[in-house]
Amino acid sequence: MISGNLVILTAFAYVVVLFGLAYFSDQRARRGRDGFLRSPLIYTLAISVYCTSWTFYGAVGSAANNGLEFLAVYIGPTLVFVGWWFGLRKLVRIGHAQRITSVADFISSRFGKSGAIAVLVTLIAVIAATPYIALQLKAITSSLRVMLASDAGSFATNIDDSTLALIIAAIMALFTILFGTRNVDANEQHHGVVAAIAFEAVVKLAALFAVGLFVVFGLGGGLAGTFERAAEAGVTFVSQSDFGGRWITITLLSAAAIVCLPRQFQITVVENADESHLRTASWAFPLYMLGMSIFTVPIAIMGKALITSGADPDMFVLTLPLSANQQILSLFAFIGGFSSATSMIIVSSIALSIMVSNHIVVPVALRSQGFNANARPEGVTRLLLTSRRVAIVTILFLGFAYFWLTNGSGALAIIGLISFTGVAQFLPAILAALFWRDATRQGALAGLLVGFAVWLYCLFLPAFAPGNPALSDWVANGLFGLAWLKPQALFGISGIDPLIHAVMWSLMGNSVALIGVSIATENDPVGRLQATRFVDVFRLGSSNQASYVRSSATLNDLFRVASRVLGYQRATQLFDQYEADRRDRQTIEPSPRFIAELESEMAGSIGAASAHVILSQVVSGDIDAIEEVIRMADETQQILEYSQRLENTTTELQSTAQQLRTANVQLRQLDQQKDEFLSQVSHEVRTPMTAIRSFSEILLAHKELPPAQRQQFVTTIHSESMRLTALLDEILDLSALERGESLWINANTDIGATLQRAIDVCTPIAQERGCRIVVDAIPHGQIVFGNADRLSQVFINLITNAIKYNDNADPFIRIETSEAEGQIAIDFEDNGPGVAPADRDIIFEKFSRGRSGGGTTEAGSGLGLAISREIIGRLDGKLELVSTEGSGACFRVTLPLRAEQQAAQ
């Protein structure tokens, strides 16, 4: 038998030890000797605040009733810590960068520092925490009842469960206030509390281990023995409904809870001292949970085997040692369970009270007419502390109310899952905050509202149904008797476990609303800014703070506000630092960067939304300063884009103008060429005309001229007329060639025969001038595709040119042919003056004649070479001037041979 007073005294003593530990740790931290408090081990142990009395007592009950289902609650967080480590790291990084104070602050900060979202998240968190706190109260009450059952003399035997729960709630509220609200920390880190929670983690693990070892080795005689003893008593472990939909749902819920539960967020993100601690926690925390669950099954089956049926399986951890009359062990087990419950209550209500004070009380106070932060000497510090204390009392009272209204009904595990489903509604918003830049404030708000509403309707309220006729009817028949509105069979989908049903509908509605509304709406500027800071936190780092452009406030104004939010000491420290750092000591206006730092610092105390509001009021009187700046930036961006387009258009126009200029230059050149051509034609026509006219006049005027002289003059007139006719013919010929008109018919032509004919024609002229024509070899049977007359024309032109312009004493012209690669080449080489280097490029131009070279003047149109080149070009051949060793010129005609052409085709 255990003395009831001993139990109660022990519990009190335990709480006093906890308080002392917290106080001692806070003192150490304040003196800067907080090294051990900032170790990854303490951090990991604090995270195990996840394991509450639900775990301590409830897991055994769950194992006894539902087989292995209790494991899902551990698997979810394990998956998150092991598999989603990077996601947690991002969460913690953002938490540090943005000085996040709570899960509500996190979500609202991401979605445009929205006050509405902060309030909604706070509301959901408080309501969702209520059953959870009720659960802890129930666990403490039940365990006290069990412990005191044998002592009729204890005070507790004369009061009912509700009163006992109320007393416990009141005591818990008092301790929480003492623990968590002695002061307002700059960044909401509670070293003392964390130390106490870590200590509690050790106590509860040790207690459970002690009971487990006793059950297995004391009662069961070893692990195998335990199962044998149970089997003898007709108890087998039934792992029913394993790995089904419910199992998956609970895994999902617990995975969400380890991130979304306000107390988990508080410990994992807000109280995190160093990001690297997560690395340790990622393996150590799952290990801790393994330790907490290892003896669950043995205790459950031994409890079923040894304890009379009808006893609460949730209390097997206590009743087993008690039944074996192990008083010290059962007292230790009681303290372990008590420790699980108190740690949860303390951290939860601290986290929730921060949210309530930061997101509901302070904003309301800031907006109310009567409150002016500058008018109150104590500032918001007092307000914060008072509101937090009131919030803690309220939250615990709500927990008690839930316990009272539900008559303590339902197993611990089921109550816990209601809470988990409630906080799981934060998950879509948190994931969107971390990874989806386009998620909007409206989307987050819509998702939270839908999820919250479905959860309330399908899971939270039905919990009150037993013992409430109106609610029972509603759960059975649907709201207003509408069958499709049945809370546990929405839209006629029935036959599903109520938990799966609620989780499915609430998270689906939540996500669909979040995504749908986000797509339909756009982020406002602050929302965009925050979205980038959250999603790209690893890329941006934490230095990228928003800045105020206009700072109409003086340093004095700012100091007044800051000292009231942060406390005089911290504010003085910050401003002294600023004074020491800044270069420009002339101005009294604070730099935008400093104001941003101040906002960040204040956000650590009162949340991002409130810090933003309070600073905007003093800084510029314009809350929308950032919006304004970003709107201006957007406009600038648009103007830049517009001018970019203009620039592109201008570039296009310039390019068109350039093309036009080029075309114009070409046209001018063509026009000039036309003028030159006309001028040259005029000259070429006028020259023979001059001779004809002049000699005609002479003949007319001088009848007395001797016949020989008359004959000579008439001959000149005749030849000049012929020259004139030939010139006009050639001009027309060349013009036709240049227009691409084929005035002749091509056929297979014997090149040798054609060349011979041309030589024959030229021989008399050559003889007349005393010029030899040397022919090395005339090709035989070589066929080219062309026109014999045209080819002779070219050859005759080349030969006569060579004869006409040759002023050598012993003039000759050598004609050579050669073949290579299906081409025949015919060279016309002379020993005349050659072509001056300056003329080489223009010798084939019309009327060029190579005048700069020799002094020999010869009649000719000056079109011969131009025509010849055109002809050869049209026969796919080439007419070119090639260099020679001798002094003279060498023209080469190259033509493709027909046989080769045919072979190629």
Partner 1 sequence: MVDILIVEDEPSILSSLEFILKHAGWTIESLTDGESALRRLEGALPRALVLDVMLPRRNGFEVLKEIRHNSRTAALPVLVLTAKGQQQDRRTAMELGASAFITKPYSNAEVVDAVRALLGHGSSPDASDASPGLN
Q: How far is the CB of 689 from partner 1 (least distance, A)?
A: 5
The interface region with partner 1, picked from 37-45, 241-249, 824-832, 848-856 by CB under 8 A, is: 848-856
Pair of tokens at residue 662: 């080029």
Element (DSSP H or E) covering residue 38? none
Q: How far is the CB of 671 from partner 1 (least distance, A)?
A: 15
Does 693 interact with partner 1 (rule: CB under 8 A)? yes
Residue list 771-790, contact with partner 1 (CB under 8 A)? none
Which of 764, 855 has the CB closer to partner 1?
855
Which of 708, 904 has the CB closer to partner 1?
708
Q: Which position among 542, 572, 687, 901 is part of the footprint of partner 1 (CB under 8 A)? A: 687
Of 448, 385, 393, nearest to 119 (Cα)?
A: 448
Q: Is the distance from CB of 287 to CB of 82 less than 8 angstroms?
A: no
Residue 18 backbone dihedrals phi, psi, to 5 degrees: -55, -45
Instruction: Tell me how far CA of residue 555 lies from CA of 377, 381, 770, 836, in angstroms.
Output: 18, 20, 114, 91
Angle between helices 412-424 and 426-435 (to 10 degrees): 40
Does 374 interact with partner 1 (rule: CB under 8 A)? no
Q: How far is the CB of 721 from partner 1 (least distance, A)?
A: 11
Give the strand pairing for 772-775 and 812-820. Answer: parallel
Which of 547, 694 has the CB closer to partner 1?
694
Q: How far is the CB of 726 from partner 1 (least distance, A)?
A: 15
Q: Which position among 474, 578, 695, 805 is part of the footprint of partner 1 (CB under 8 A)? A: 695
Provide the CA 65 distance to its chain's centre, in angstroms: 47
Does 694 interact with partner 1 (rule: CB under 8 A)? yes
Q: Is the distance from CB of 292 to CB of 49 less than 8 angstroms?
A: no
Which of 661, 668 has the CB closer to partner 1?
668
DSSP state of 253: H
Does 823 interact with partner 1 (rule: CB under 8 A)? no
Does 689 interact with partner 1 (rule: CB under 8 A)? yes
Q: Which position among 808, 857, 887, 902 is part of the footprint of partner 1 (CB under 8 A)? A: 857
Q: How far is the CB of 806 from partner 1 (least distance, A)?
A: 16
The residue type at 267: I
Does 721 interact with partner 1 (rule: CB under 8 A)? no
What number of chain residues touch partner 1 (CB under 8 A)?
26
Which of 545, 716 has the CB closer to partner 1?
716
Q: Which position among 645, 851, 873, 902 is part of the footprint of partner 1 (CB under 8 A)? A: 851
Residue list 240-299, contact with partner 1 (CB under 8 A)? none
Which of 516, 854 has the CB closer to partner 1?
854
Name residues whose C-beta falls within 8 Å of residue 224's C-beta, 6 or more positions apart in sequence.
none
Q: How far is the CB of 725 from partner 1 (least distance, A)?
A: 15
Does 854 interact with partner 1 (rule: CB under 8 A)? yes
Q: Which position among 573, 852, 887, 902 is part of the footprint of partner 1 (CB under 8 A)? A: 852
Q: Which position among 658, 659, 672, 679 is part of the footprint of partner 1 (CB under 8 A)? A: 679
Does 702 interact with partner 1 (rule: CB under 8 A)? yes
Nearest-5° Cα angle at 363, 361 to 369: 100
Which of 375, 701 has the CB closer to partner 1?
701
Q: How many CB atoms lie within 10 A of CB 292?
A: 23
Burial of 490 (C-beta count, 10 Å sphere; 0-12/13-18/19+): buried
Does 1 interact with partner 1 (rule: CB under 8 A)? no
- Report how far residue 11's alpha carbon sits from residue 336's, in angstroms, rounded to the nearest whole number: 10
Q: Which position among 686, 718, 769, 772 is part of the footprint of partner 1 (CB under 8 A)? A: 686
The interface region with partner 1, picked from 96-104, 346-354, 755-763, 854-862 by CB under 8 A, is: 854-862
Q: Is the distance from CB of 117 to CB of 111 less than 8 angstroms?
A: yes
Which of 206, 699 has the CB closer to partner 1?
699
- Each residue 636-675 as x (binds partner 1 by CB under 8 A) or -, in order, gives ----------------------------------------
Does 839 interact with partner 1 (rule: CB under 8 A)? no
Q: What is the 3-state secondary structure (H, E, C) of 756-774?
A: HHHHHHHHHHHHHHCCEEE
Q: How far is the CB of 674 from partner 1 (least distance, A)?
A: 14
Q: How many CB atoms lie within 10 A of CB 621?
A: 11
Instruction: Tell me how far CA of residue 452 lies from CA of 424, 430, 903, in angstroms.
Output: 10, 15, 89
The interface region with partner 1, picked from 297-305, 476-484, 688-696, 866-874 by CB under 8 A, is: 688-696
Q: Is the distance from CB of 724 to CB of 689 less than 8 angstroms?
A: yes
- Report how far residue 755's alpha carbon sits from residue 777's, in angstroms, rounded to the nearest whole number: 11
Q: How far is the CB of 766 from partner 1 (least distance, A)?
A: 20
Q: How far is the CB of 845 from partner 1 (least distance, A)?
A: 16
The residue type at 167: I
Which of 645, 702 has the CB closer to partner 1?
702
Residue 194 backbone dihedrals phi, psi, to 5 degrees: -60, -40
Does 631 interact with partner 1 (rule: CB under 8 A)? no
Pair of tokens at residue 436: 């989806």
Which of 366, 863 has the CB closer to partner 1?
863
Pair of tokens at residue 140: 């403490």
Which of 89, 804 has the CB closer to partner 1?
804
Partnered with residue 772 across adjacent β-strands are 812
- Report how far residue 205's alpha carbon sits from residue 562's, in angstroms, rounded to the nearest whole number: 43
Burial of 291 (C-beta count, 10 Å sphere; 0-12/13-18/19+): middle
Q: How far is the CB of 849 from partner 1 (least distance, A)?
A: 9
- Report how far residue 556's alpha carbon sits from residue 820's, in angstroms, rounded to the nearest whole number: 100
Does 691 interact with partner 1 (rule: CB under 8 A)? yes
Instruction: Tell me how far CA of residue 243 lies from CA of 68, 81, 283, in angstroms.
Output: 9, 21, 24
Partnered with residue 775 across adjacent β-strands are 815
Which of 462, 853 has the CB closer to partner 1?
853
Q: How far is the CB of 891 from partner 1 (least distance, A)?
A: 21
Q: How far is the CB of 853 from partner 1 (least distance, A)?
A: 8
- Each residue 859-888 as x (binds partner 1 by CB under 8 A) or -, in order, gives x-----------------------------
Q: How far is the CB of 797 from partner 1 (least distance, A)?
A: 21
Dihedral angle, C-alpha 624, 627, 629, 632, nearest 10 °: -120
Does 690 interact with partner 1 (rule: CB under 8 A)? yes
Which of 26, 720 has the CB closer to partner 1?
720
The interface region with partner 1, picked from 8-16, 211-219, 253-261, 695-703 by CB under 8 A, is: 695-703
Give residue for tokens 């024959």: 760
Which of 50, 695 has the CB closer to partner 1?
695
Which of 175, 805 has the CB closer to partner 1?
805
Side-chain-side CA neighbours of 802 within 13 Å: the count stands at 32
Q: Which position among 228, 473, 697, 789 is part of the footprint of partner 1 (CB under 8 A)? A: 697
Provide the CA 213 distance to its chain's centre, in angstroms: 52
- Report how far residue 354's alpha carbon sits from residue 610's, in angstroms, rounded to the nearest whole number: 12
Which of 545, 848 has the CB closer to partner 1?
848
- Report how far residue 141's alpha carbon sits from residue 340's, in angstroms, rounded to the nearest whole number: 13
Does 692 interact with partner 1 (rule: CB under 8 A)? yes
Q: What is the 3-state secondary structure (H, E, C) of 359-395?
A: HHHHHHHHHCCCCCCCCCCCHHHHHHHHHHHHHHHHH
Residues that bind partner 1 (CB under 8 A): 679, 682-683, 686-695, 697-698, 700-702, 716, 720, 851-852, 854-855, 857, 859
